[in-house]
Chain A
Amino acid sequence: MTGMFASIAWRNLWRNPRRTLITLVVVAVGVWSILTFDVMLKAFGTSSRETSLRLLTGEAQIHAPGYLEDPSVARRMPTPGGSLLGALDSPLVDAWAPRVRVPAIVQSEYRTRSITLLGVSPARERTVSDMPAQVVAGRYLSSDTDPGIVIGQHLAEKLKTRIGKRLIILVQSSDGRLAETSFTIVGLFGGTQGAQDEYAFTSLRAAQGILGVGNDVSEISLFGADDANLDGVVSALKSAAPALDIQPWTTLSPMAYTIETFSQTYVGIWLMIMFVLMAIGIVNTQLMAVFERTREFGLLQALGMRPGLIVLQVTLESAMLIGIGILVGIVLMLLTVVPLLGGLDTGFLAQGMELIGMGQILYPRIDPAAAAGSCLVVWVLGIGAALWPARAAANVDPVVAMAEL
């Protein structure tokens, strides 16, 4: 029975190929834009998060209480030991790195700038941050006691200095004294201009030495082993070190979090707009089709076909039409996105992208479940919209209909 209706519906669709094709194009373009936007915006969101987290933030950070409000040398904590070290080395945590992080002044012969000085443990730093890999000239720090300094390429230009030259770093040491130390530049890093101007890296021991803080650190940055269970990791660390301030990235880097949430909302809004446009197209063409076929529906009813079956007949046509449109849309989306899976270089947008903390290369990922969800929503709502022309077809009075010429 349904098989018969389906084959009738299929034949009906192609009785007016031009009209059917127009509706197909409307649905296909709509679905294509929804799916492609979804993929691209998710890539934006992920890139923004990754760039931000792999810069220095990590997925979570541990500080002494008050450090986030006043990042001075006084807000420090001992190198992790005991239960905190146990929690950090547990399988819950994928990677962690200790840092000394204080405001500092850098001086060259010509210029003076405010920066943030980071004393890092190079081997551990590489596991939580992409900064070591962004060295574009010279080298990164080699060990925990490396006497050199790595600064941003752009900062080096501003300071009119280069690799091999000395810089003076001024910091307020733990006894309140202004400590001045000379460091030789061993490497320059690239990446976002903001980071280049903001950060300078020395080895952990060198920074601890000039600050006079022994083995104390300012910050621990870490990545959890399981993305989905970050809250669990944070609460495990909190119970291991109740006196310390432990925050996930969602509070440390609210901009990245907002962008990620925003892109999801944006896709939702886009889906709604596109759907309304598609629905107008579908309802309009289907209504036209139904009016043209008034005599046919009148005849069918006169032959004893019940209005319910006419609704079913017309709805089936719409379902097929929208379904094919969705399939075409998916194919179009794949044609657009698959060539970009290797990475989309947005260098031409670099400055604007940096402003919102994104990397230059986006890596789109197709999420089949999300795509299927969007398609299903479009299909079901599309069929819902098509009920209107279907009801119009069922409401035809056979006598009036057959009297028409």
Chain B
Amino acid sequence: MRAGLTILMLLVLSAVPAMAAPAPDATSILRRVSENYRSSSSQATLAMTIHRPAWERRMQLKSWTRGEYDALVRFIAPAKDAGNATLKLGRETWVFNPRLNQVIKLPASMLSQSWMGSDFSYNDLARSNELVDQFNHRLLGAEQVRGRTVWTIEAKPKPGAPVVWGKVNVKVRDDYVVTEQVFFDQDMKPARRMQTDEIAPLGGRPYPVTMTMYPLDMPGQWTRVQTTAGQFNVSVPAWLLTLSNLQNPRQ
């Protein structure tokens, strides 16, 4: 009887925070989002579609990550691009071009250039925590989308933060997956939009498997990244993220 009461009490107590969850503060939502993406390591196969008014290109690539800063990305299709690879270790980035058979260390000046002609820069690939660390956040509201809560958060850069945006509006689903990000310029005009087209379980967690980036000053132009397969917290052998593997791939 006494034990039964204790169990009941525990259930009630544990239910309290669960019931309070629908009104969390904006910063902790974004922190949860960031933790959701993070993993000690990952391995994924991606498809990238670059769309321009006059043409469209589809590429396939494999990626490996280790910790927060180390990553290797290798293109596997089409044949024209296959073998191109980018290795990032800490703050340094190298690219390998199979036709030149040469590894080039990217100077800092190249990091903000377009990555393989897409609407992403090398920097976009690397900058993960900026939204949490460099911005002040405010919960604008919550709405129900297909039976789930979606929060809208307004993020404004902290004074002096190295951020060009006037603000960023982020939509987060209640399982901590970002469904949309709109980047506003300093006149508060939307400049680019990143939209999640599909959320699916991946490696045991809900994951935005299809995302599209629209630069809004270039109508008819977008880049879509689809994660076709992925695993998190896998063991990445030490030789994988090395310059020698960048040039002479064993995997």
Contact = CB atoms under 8 A, between A and B. Distances in A.
Nearest to A177: B91
Interface string A353-367: 000000000000000
A146 interface: no
Interface string A101-141: 00111011110101000000000000000000000000000
B163 interface: yes
A386 to B, nearest CB: 67
B2 to A, nearest CB: 61
B112 A170 contact: yes
Contact of B112 (A107, A160, A167, A181): A107
Given A109-B191, A110-B185, A112-B113, A178 B108 contact: yes
Task: Label chain A's interface by main secondary structure.
Answer: strand
A171 interface: yes
A166 B185 CA distance: 10
A180 interface: yes
Contacts of A104: 109
A52 B186 CA distance: 36
B164 interface: yes
Interface in B111-131: 111-113, 121
Say which size band chain A's interface belongs to: 20 to 34
Interface residues of B, number: 22
Contacts of A178: 91, 108, 111
Interface string B202-218: 00000000000001010
A170 B108 contact: yes
Contacts of A107: 112, 164
A104 B112 CA distance: 11
Contact of A167 (B107, B111, B164): B164
Interface in A176-213: 176-178, 180-182
B160 interface: yes
A161 B111 CA distance: 21
Contacts of B8: none
Contacts of B164: 107-109, 166-168, 182
B108 A168 contact: no
Residue picked from B107, B111, B186, B217, most chain A C-beta under 10 Å: B186
A170 B185 contact: no
B183 A109 contact: yes
B162 interface: yes
Given A108-B164, A171-B108, A177-B91, A165 B186 contact: yes
A154 to B, nearest CB: 18
B94 interface: no
Contacts of A182: 157, 160-164
Contacts of B183: 109
A341 B166 CA distance: 51
Contact of B186 (A114, A166, A172, A181): A166
Contact of A180 (B162, B165, B185, B186): B162
A64 B107 CA distance: 21
A170 B112 CA distance: 9
Nearest to A165: B186
A243 B194 CA distance: 53
A323 B108 CA distance: 68
Contacts of A110: 185, 191, 215, 217
Contacts of B111: 105, 170, 178
Q: Report, nearest first, the 10 A-B pairs whose CB atoms are least far apart.
A: A180-B162, A109-B185, A112-B112, A172-B108, A109-B191, A165-B186, A182-B162, A109-B164, A178-B108, A114-B109
Interface of A: 103-105, 107-110, 112, 114, 160-161, 165-168, 170-172, 176-178, 180-182
Given A107-B164, A110-B217, A171-B108, 16 more contacts: A103-B109, A109-B164, A109-B185, A109-B191, A110-B191, A166-B164, A168-B162, A168-B163, A168-B164, A170-B112, A172-B107, A178-B108, A180-B162, A181-B162, A182-B161, A182-B163
15 contacts: A105-B109, A108-B164, A109-B164, A109-B183, A112-B121, A114-B109, A160-B217, A168-B162, A170-B112, A171-B108, A172-B108, A178-B91, A178-B108, A182-B162, A182-B163
Interface of B: 91, 107-109, 111-113, 121, 157, 160-166, 183, 185-186, 191, 215, 217
